[in-house]
Amino acid sequence: MKAIDEINELLRPLARIGTDEPVGLAGGARAQALFTDIIAQERQPTTAGPPRRLRDRYRARPTLLGLAASVVLALGAVLGPSLLGYGDGTSISYANSAVEIREEADTYVARIKDPYADQRRFSEAFRALGLNVEIKVIPVSPASVGKIVMMQGAGPFHIRREPADCDLADSGCFMAVTVPVALKGAIRFDLGRPAKPGESYENEWQSATRAGEQLAGAKVSGRSVDDVLAEVRKRGLTAEFSLVSVGEGSYELKPLAADQVGANWIVYKVASVRVGVVRLQVTPERNPALEYESD
């Protein structure tokens, strides 16, 4: 008896539409026309019985004949040339202008092609594969570029650069996120991209004292505003302020003018705002509900 691989080799050349190349019509105008026609139809309650006969349906909805015709034209374009050959087993699972997702082993690898794209383009790609993954790509301070800076949901997620260790400021360098194919539930995460000149960072919850940041290595948490401002000036930076308002297990930040801040107020954290500017998160007094890094 022939092995399954041998049978596959016998049968593949018989496929009228080749198995080695994607059809590549999903993004076309005809696909869009059919889609538009279908969703224009009223949804009916699901019936448990077998589908009615095809022709009966067409009589009931003559517009379908028109949309079938659009598919015929598409098929003609695909089927005209003979496509013989073998697949190499690698395929793009989904791609749009913003992201390209391919399957590798038990994971989907999503390559962010356009970090500036509408975030809905990322989500639609994952939804197409049946996954509820929301991605935002946000401008971040240097130490967070190319990293997952915020995540909700559990699972083994990874982010890497393609090609490995490239500079994300280069056009040929991409972030690629890996999520399990068998992912359950909703996942949301923010990915950090380099900020454009003058653009403000959005990772304000991350400290500017981390390695690679503008205040790398400085001790700021729990110290007075005056002390921290001295450090800020020493590094040639300017400072903005926000007021830390502590609630039930969380806190919020409110804008604060410099002249409202006392020299002996206490700094909780310092975040980068943009190149050359940091923001001191402060309270009038030391607040026991906050966890200071120096504790």
Partner 1 sequence: MKRAFASRIEWRTSRWESPVPDDTDRFEAVYRATYDEIIAYAGRRCDSPQDAADVVAETFTVVWRKMDELPPGAEARLWVYGVARNVLADHRRSALRHQARHRELDAEMADLYGDPADHNVELNAIAQVFGTLSDDDRELLSLVAWEGLDRKEIATMLGLSRNAVRIRLYRARKRFSLALDEADVRSTPATAIVPAGRAQ
Using CB under 8 A as the binding rule, the residues of this chain from 221 to 280 that contact partner 1 are 247, 249-253
Restricted to residues 137-176, the positions that interact with partner 1 (CB under 8 A) are: 150, 152
Nearer to partner 1, 121 or 161 (CB): 121
Contact 152, 187 (CB under 8 A): yes
Candidate segments 10-18, 155-163, 167-175, 226-234, binder of partner 1 by CB under 8 A: 10-18
* Strand-by-strand arrangement of the 158-162 sheet: 92-95, 99-104, 107-112, 174-180, 158-162
Pick from 78, 173, 176, 275 the residue near partner 1 by CB under 8 A.
78
**Residue 97 within binding range of partner 1, rule CB under 8 A:** no
Nearer to partner 1, 202 or 231 (CB): 202
**Residue 199 within binding range of partner 1, rule CB under 8 A:** no
Least separation in angstroms between CB 243 and partner 1? 13
Assign 256 to helix, strand or coil.
strand
The CB-side HSE value for 180 (13 A sphere, CA atoms) comes to: 11
Q: How many CB atoms lie within 10 A of CB 134?
A: 17
Q: How far is CA 161 from CA 121, 146, 170, in A?
A: 20, 7, 12
Pick from 49, 51, 217, 288 the residue near partner 1 by CB under 8 A.
51
Candidate segments 69-77, 139-147, 192-200, 231-239, binder of partner 1 by CB under 8 A: 69-77
Alpha carbons 86 and 20: distance in angstroms, whole number? 5
**Residue 19 within binding range of partner 1, rule CB under 8 A:** yes
Q: Residue 153 has what DSSP assignment?
A: S
DSSP H/E element including 186: strand 186-194
**Residue 294 within binding range of partner 1, rule CB under 8 A:** no
The CB-side HSE value for 120 (13 A sphere, CA atoms) comes to: 0
**Residue 35 within binding range of partner 1, rule CB under 8 A:** yes
Q: How far is CA 264 from CA 79, 85, 243, in A?
A: 77, 75, 14
Pick from 111, 117, 134, 210 the residue near partner 1 by CB under 8 A.
134
Encoded tokens for 266? 């206490």
Pick from 105, 109, 118, 184 the residue near partner 1 by CB under 8 A.
184
Q: Residue 144 has what DSSP assignment?
A: G
Strand partners, 256: 241
Candidate segments 76-84, 167-175, 192-200, 222-230, binder of partner 1 by CB under 8 A: 76-84
**Residue 283 within binding range of partner 1, rule CB under 8 A:** no
Nearer to partner 1, 40 or 164 (CB): 40
Nearer to partner 1, 159 or 166 (CB): 159
Nearer to partner 1, 128 or 168 (CB): 128
